[in-house]
Structure 1
Amino acid sequence: MTPERTAKVLVFGAGGYLGSAIVRRFVAAGHQVTGLVRREDAADQLRSVGAEPVLGDLGDIEAVLPLLDAADTVVFAAQLMMEAERTTVSAMIDRLAGTGKTFVFTSGTGVLSQRTDGEWSEDTFAEDDDFVPSKYIGRRKDTEDLVRAASATGLRAMVIRPAMIWGHGGCPMLSAFHASAEKTGTVCYVGRGLNLYSGVHVDDVAELYALAVEKGTPGALYHAVSGETNFRTLAEAVARSRGVQSRSVDFAEAITIWDKFTALVALSVCSRSRAPRSRSELGWAPHPDRLDIMEDVAHPAYRS
């Protein structure tokens, strides 16, 4: 898609899995893209796709804030701890207030996850459905609300809340299953493994950002989700790809295989979502060739 005008897009987290996909999408549309990265190798990667890197760290927010002044659109796709994230986003919103610029904050459907220890939950959530925020990372909902309320300050602010992202060998859950094989010789899942995160291909998430920037509503929240496959099915598929067995573990063993955060927030919960607002309001839909997460299971990146 060729934009009506070339916009200056600033992406935070541009060297990351999602951030790099967002950069590629906006560069392909003809925008002038700048990305904040922390390492020179990530800077080289940005240059290779036609974006301009800036070396820096969100931990030094006073040095970073002036970058916002030259941008038309700011995309926050960085991953920070909850309190640091809220503080950083709040400072950016204050800097952008009254400018009429676009600010897109990246959340995730972990905020609505429910701990089930491997059991399935029938609960599934659209963008503006009520839910009880996760005990563990639900504080990100406060940052979402902060961003959405900023639309009243003369800022075109929106939130995108992707489901579990996969594609190009970068899915964190698939990485965890492969890691369990490296550590234990088997691919492990928690309990009965009937739990899941709804999923979506990373390139389809990047497309949603482009649509939100083009025609999104100030103050809106948009989901990105294209399907769902339970964790036991994914673990069994990873096991077949590696020629090993899969097995169930309890939560205590899961902590020893991965770490407490991964076991608790990623692999012991159920998080199911829908995206009616993204589809109806923005015309977003996942590409028909990017619907099957099984195509990503054996990607060589998971072994490297």
Structure 2
Amino acid sequence: MRVLVIGATGFVGGAVARHLGAEGHLVTGLARSDDAARILTAQGIRVLRGDLDTAVAATAQADAVVFAAQPAPDVEQAVVAGLLDALAGTGKTFVFTSGSGVHLQRTAGAWSEDCFAEDDPFTVEPLAAGRLAAEEAVRAAAGREVRAMVVRPGLIWGPGDHGHVSMIYRSVARTGAACYVGEGLNTYSHVHIADVARLFASVLANGTAGALYHAVAGETPNRWIAEAVARDAGCPTRSLTPEEAATVWGEFGALVLGASSRGRAPRSRTELGWRPEHTDMLTMIGEPRLRDLAAA
């Protein structure tokens, strides 16, 4: 299959592009700079040099398009609309990368019992309303003869991530303690990047037009992460108020570290037979790159 990956130099798009290439697909990645083009070439990925408008024009040469870029919400909606218009009536495949931030809940570090399967109703996080609108546009495109689907991963971890574990290591450098917000019982359902890439491959091969697929494999409360980091770094833990958290991680980081975002993946598991191979995010504890953050 000829697959165009938009966002192939990013964390998720890069992993997906490499995995699809290893499976034998002919993968092309969008490169917006010479440095990005060199990275893709070194990984054996064909290069489409240009911008997001270039990608829209290139859909004619692809059998499938994976959108894994992370532009501003208004740009994302406009580009996705353009891609879907270009693919309308072709029967080609389009896979859109979303995230569980759409059903994030601002709990200030408290646990939430809410845990959402693919089509469960929820109240959208206001900052993610544009992302949810893009999801809905993609799924509706199935009625325009596009095999359009959405993959919605939880918190993605693995080599090179910038998620909760790395953020808590970074708090050690800034405060001398491994920090969490409030009670620290809030949790994100998480998933390893390799398992995300495998799910994308399964969706491309066997996914149903108009469907949403979750990618989640486990949960670890933030306080547990902080306690594990503290043991590794030889420092105490510390609970922060949301206001204090903003001075450590910035306002958006404080929002993320104080929120809950829990999900389940029954459609991915039953329809596609997807089974995550990596379920314990705390296996990252002690990695040299993380320890370096605590010492920075």
TM-score interval w.r.t. the shorter chain?
A: over 0.9
Correspondence for 2:89: 98
The structural deviation recorded for 1:171 is 4.1
Correspondence for 1:243: 234
1:11-26 equivalences in 2 (<5 Å): 11-26=5-20
Correspondence for 1:301: 289
The CA distance in 1 between the partners of 2:238 and 2:232, in whole Å, is 15
The number of residues matched between the two structures is 292
The structural deviation recorded for 1:226 is 0.6
The CA distance in 1 between the partners of 2:33 and 2:236, in whole Å, is 38
Report the more deviating stretch, 42-51 or 212-221: 42-51
The CA distance in 1 between the partners of 2:105 and 2:144, in whole Å, is 34
The CA distance in 2 between the partners of 1:165 and 1:192, in whole Å, is 23
The structural deviation recorded for 1:56 is 3.1
Q: Is the 8 A contact 1:27 1:49 kept in 2?
A: no
Question: Structure 2: which amino acid aligns with 1:18?
Answer: V
The structural deviation recorded for 1:43 is 2.8
Q: Residue 142 of structure 1: which of 133, 139, 143 is its match?
A: 133
Q: 1:96 to 1:267 in 2, by over 3 A?
A: same
Correspondence for 1:3: none
Percent of aligned positions that are identical: 50
Structure 1 unaligned residues grouped into runs of 5+: 1-6
The structural deviation recorded for 1:145 is 0.5
Q: Is the 8 A contact 1:169 1:300 kept in 2?
A: no
The answer to whether 1:219 aligns with 2:207 is: no
1:124-273 equivalences in 2 (<5 Å): 124-264=115-255, 266-273=256-263
Q: TM-score, normalised by structure 2?
A: 0.94
Q: TM-score, normalised by structure 1?
A: 0.92
Correspondence for 2:43: 49
The structure whose residues are more often helix, as a share, is: 2
RMSD: 1.4
Moved over 6 A (4+): none
Q: Could you list the per-position Cα deviations for residues 104-138 of structure 1 after superposition, in whole angstroms to 9, with x for gaps in the alignment?
A: 00000110111100000001000011111112213
Q: Could you list the per-position Cα deviations for residues 218-251 of structure 1 after superposition, in whole angstroms to 9, with x for gaps in the alignment?
A: 0000000111000111122122222222211001
The structural deviation recorded for 1:83 is 1.6
